[in-house]
């Protein structure tokens, strides 16, 4: 993935919205700006389904396509949005940002000529803080966006990168961590993320709610999902400093010990624990107060919320850990909930280094088998080695077009996982390594044990076994005899894709 793009980039804009007043201002700024025009501006209405009134959108010269998402959250809304576009690049904007009249010019300048190894271009985010006083707690939280990595307040993603990782993980229900999660997966898929020159303004939060910082603690549930997906070092991978959680845990434990000791009449222990809690809480409050405007309202709010934040943060984190781990545990047994297919010689006829969408030919019975799975509520996906990209024989855009043609002929897939690397690249995604199977399971919200991989060579079986998934080999003339023997002993063998799918539905695998 290193060849430069010589043609002018095509691009669309996706704006998820909950109906903020700033949406109309943003749309007018996009419409009146200079420079190339986007193919389409998709406005994704993510208000609850009970919101029956249409969005009040201004009349524009740009092509605007409103679509509904129904209150499923920003990750789902962005997925709905980019899947309603067909351009090479998708620029995500939040509905509360403002852009200059030159934004379109600068975006195209940022995208023009980027090599295909670049999967995303991030804007510079400006959060203008008041100059006559220190920022409030709400304003400081917004200001953190100016130094955050990969936030989708203004982030342009290459379509092939989005398709490779199947977009945003919709298990993130709020505007928190879903953008970092996407960027981590895009980078792990072999793409770079660069920072452009365009500047987008994100106004600081203006809130009259003194308890906003308490509601923000819900994000700790999303932190639990990040840890489950990427391990204990996930913060360093997204460029964040140490977590406050260890301190919050200690503060909460000291409070719990104090209360329990009082109930048991252990006054010395209660006094010591209460003193430790008071010291930790006072230090936390003092640090937050010192950074702010120090008004009486702000001081009272910081003092009260500093006492409540630690137990709330711990409770939300524990709930997230429990919920996501139970979901993984519940998914580890029982009938298959997803079937992952190798592409070439499994669901389409193999054409070496296929780059022409018109040459896509489904394998006999593939469409019927896939539809049978869909009718039974079983998710379907593709996991495919495509070293032709690394060899320079297939351009990423051609690969994307071929895969789009596969979907046209065989119906929609719930996840696409493609390894564009060569054998010598040492990546973790190329089969028989487990990377793509693991990624597909994560995208579907499942465990690999819930998945069955159907393929035609030993590498398919090896990838499934390495990830802990089940596997069925459907031999073709190029399948080696030893691969068939291995599958008979350690997996399953079926004569056709249709027979393999029948075995899955019957629970025989």
Catalytic residue chosen out of the listed positions 45, 344, 345, 450: 344
180 touches 238 (CB < 8 A):
yes
In whole angstroms, what is the distance from residue 305 CA to residue 318 CA? 19
The catalytically annotated residue of 342, 400, 438, 456 is: 342
* Nearest alpha-carbon partner for 346 in 275, 406, 270: 406
431 CB-contact burial (10 Å; exposed 0-12 / middle 13-18 / buried 19+): buried
Distance between CA atoms of 130 and 321, rounded to whole angstroms? 38
How many helices (H) and strands (E) in the chain?
A: 18, 13
Residue 352, token pair as written in the block: 């070496």
DSSP output for 267-321: HHHHHHHHHHHHHHHHHHHHHHHHTS---HHHHHHHHHHHHHHHHHHHHHHHHHH
Residue 342 known to be catalytic:
yes
- The separation between CA 101 and the C-alpha centre of its own chain, rounded to angstroms, equals 30
Instruction: For CA atoms 442, 445, 447, 450, give the dihedral sign.
Output: negative
Give the residue from 56, 53, 47 showing the smallest Cα distance to 22: 56
**CA nearest neighbour of 401 among 365, 356, 433:** 356
Q: Based on the residue annotation, tell me whether 222 is a catalytic residue of this protein.
A: no
Cβ–Cβ under 8 Å, residues 139 and 129: yes
Angstrom distance (rounded) from CA 106 to CA 121 = 11
The residues that are catalytic are 342, 344
């Amino acid at each position: 993935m290193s060849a430069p793009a010589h043609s002018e980039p095509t691009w669309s804009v996706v704006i998820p919205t909950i109906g903020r007043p700033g949406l109309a201002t943003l749309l007018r700024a996009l419409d009146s700006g200079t420079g190339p025009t986007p193919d389409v501006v998709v406005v994704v209405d993510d208000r609850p389904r009970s919101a029956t009134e249409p969005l009040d959108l201004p009349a524009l010269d740009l092509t605007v396509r409103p679509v509904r998402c129904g209150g499923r959250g920003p990750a789902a809304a962005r997925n709905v949005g980019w899947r309603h576009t067909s351009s090479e690049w998708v620029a995500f904007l939040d509905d509360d940002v403002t852009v200059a009249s030159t934004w379109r010019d600068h975006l195209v300048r940022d995208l023009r000529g980027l090599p295909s190894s670049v999967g995303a271009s991030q804007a510079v985010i400006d959060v203008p803080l008041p100059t006559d006083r220190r920022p409030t707690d709400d304003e400081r939280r917004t200001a953190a966006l100016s130094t955050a990595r990969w936030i989708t307040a203004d982030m342009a993603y290459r379509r092939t990168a989005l398709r490779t990782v199947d977009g945003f993980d919709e298990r993130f229900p709020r505007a928190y961590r879903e953008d970092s999660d996407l960027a981590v997966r895009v980078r792990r898929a072999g793409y770079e993320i660069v920072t452009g020159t365009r500047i987008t303004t994100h106004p600081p939060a203006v809130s009259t709610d003194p308890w906003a910082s308490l509601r923000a603690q819900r994000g700790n549930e999303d932190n639990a999902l990040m840890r489950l997906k990427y391990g204990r070092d996930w913060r360093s991978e997204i460029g964040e400093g140490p977590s406050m959680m260890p301190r919050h845990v200690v503060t909460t434990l000291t409070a719990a010990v104090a209360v329990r000791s009082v109930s048991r009449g252990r006054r010395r222990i209660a006094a010591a624990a209460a003193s430790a809690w008071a010291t930790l809480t006072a230090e936390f409050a003092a640090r937050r107060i010192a950074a702010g405007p120090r008004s009486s309202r702000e001081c009272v709010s910081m003092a009260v919320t500093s006492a409540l934040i630690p137990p709330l943060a711990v409770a939300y984190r524990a709930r997230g850990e429990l919920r996501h781990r139970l979901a993984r545990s519940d998914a580890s047994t029982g009938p298959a909930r997803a079937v992952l297919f190798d592409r070439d010689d499994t669901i389409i006829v193999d054409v070496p280094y296929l780059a022409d969408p018109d040459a896509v030919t489904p394998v006999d019975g593939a469409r019927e088998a896939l539809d049978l799975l869909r009718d039974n509520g079983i998710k379907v996906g593709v996991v495919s080695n495509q070293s032709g990209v690394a060899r320079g024989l297939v351009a990423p855009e051609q690969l994307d077009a071929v895969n789009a043609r596969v979907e046209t002929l065989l119906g929609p897939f719930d996840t696409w996982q493609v390894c564009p690397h060569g054998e010598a690249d040492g990546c973790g995604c190329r089969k028989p390594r487990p990377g793509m199977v693991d990624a597909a399971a994560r995208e579907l919200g499942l465990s690999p044990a819930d998945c069955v991989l159907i393929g035609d060579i030993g590498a398919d079986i090896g990838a499934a076994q390495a990830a802990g998934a089940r596997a069925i080999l459907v031999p073709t003339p190029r399948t080696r005899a030893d691969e068939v023997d291995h599958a008979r002993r350690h997996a399953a063998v079926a004569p056709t894709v249709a027979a393999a799918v029948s075995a899955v539905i019957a629970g025989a695998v």
